[in-house]
Amino acid sequence: MSSPAQVLSVVASAGELLLRSGAEVARVEDTLTRIAQAYGYYDVEIYATPTGLFVTLGSERHMTAIRRIEGRAIALDRVSAINALSRELTADPAPPSEVIRAIQNIANQAPPVPNWATPATNAVAAAACTMLVGGSLSDFGPALLANVFVQGVHRVRESLRLPEAVGDFASGATAVVCALAATRWLGASFTPVVAGGIMVLVPGIAFTTSVRDAMMGDLTSAAARGLEAVMKVASLASGVAAALYATGRL
């Protein structure tokens, strides 16, 4: 039987990766409980939030691991891989050292879409959304270009390690400036281009995860994720409003 320290390391590492990848709290707690039970540890307590993970094993002598969660993002491929790993462990528990390596490999695996293709696919998806807000086919190209500039702003923000709210504010303002240029020089519709420029930054998955956490009774996580999503939307809207005011359109 694997030692409590080894199992605790496996459980905490899997939970940390799940939370960093945007998994909802109920999924994290259920998956980690199943991993611990696969190794014969049925007395396990797990408390997860979007920013922290607390895992305790044992009844007579407790061992606890605490992990701070930083750098959260939506990576559903990693969530799926960890879930598959937990099912494999339930059927045939592997040595903890091998499982730790497997978790590290999942954390380092390449995304399903290559990094060079992500900006292009995001731009096409965002530009296509202009049709949903009253745009026409002629607005597709300007919205695509606007979104490319917006993504460029976010890349600069990441390289400078600035707060995410700063990047969202700057992205909203950039979308307005690009829409003004497209309206003046390309004859595009202003509002659809702005909407297309910021569409990929709207935290739809974060809102959905917040609602799912609330439905499962994880109110702390639901409130935290909901507030994070609201702050992101507020930063985007503030950037748009500031640019509109500065250019005399508000």
The answer to whether position 182 is within a domain reads yes
pLDDT tens-digit profile of 35-51?
Answer: 999 998 988 999 998 88
Whole-number pLDDT of residue 1: 61
Q: Work out how many domains the chain is built from and give that number.
A: 2
Taking residues 107-114, report their average pLDDT.
82
Clarify whether residues 92 and 73 are in a common domain: yes
Clarify whether residues 100 and 141 are in a common domain: no
pLDDT tens-digit profile of 121-177?
Answer: 878 887 788 877 777 778 888 888 888 888 888 888 888 888 888 889 998 899 899
Say yes or no to pLDDT of 82 above 90.
yes
Clarify whether residues 154 and 70 are in a common domain: no
Domain residues for 19? 4-108
Banded model confidence at residue 105, pLDDT cuts 50, 70, 90: very high
- Whether the model pTM is above 0.95: no
Q: How far is CA 86 from the centre of its chain?
A: 21
Taking residues 69-86, report their average pLDDT.
89
Element (H, E) at 64: strand 63-68
Clarify whether residues 93 and 162 are in a common domain: no
**Cα 7 to Cα 87: distance, rounded to the nearest angstrom:** 16
pLDDT tens-digit profile of 216-244?
Answer: 888 888 888 889 889 999 999 999 999 99
Buried b (16+ CB within 10 A) or exposed e, 14-50: bbbbbbbbbbbbbbbbebbbbbbebbebeebebebbb
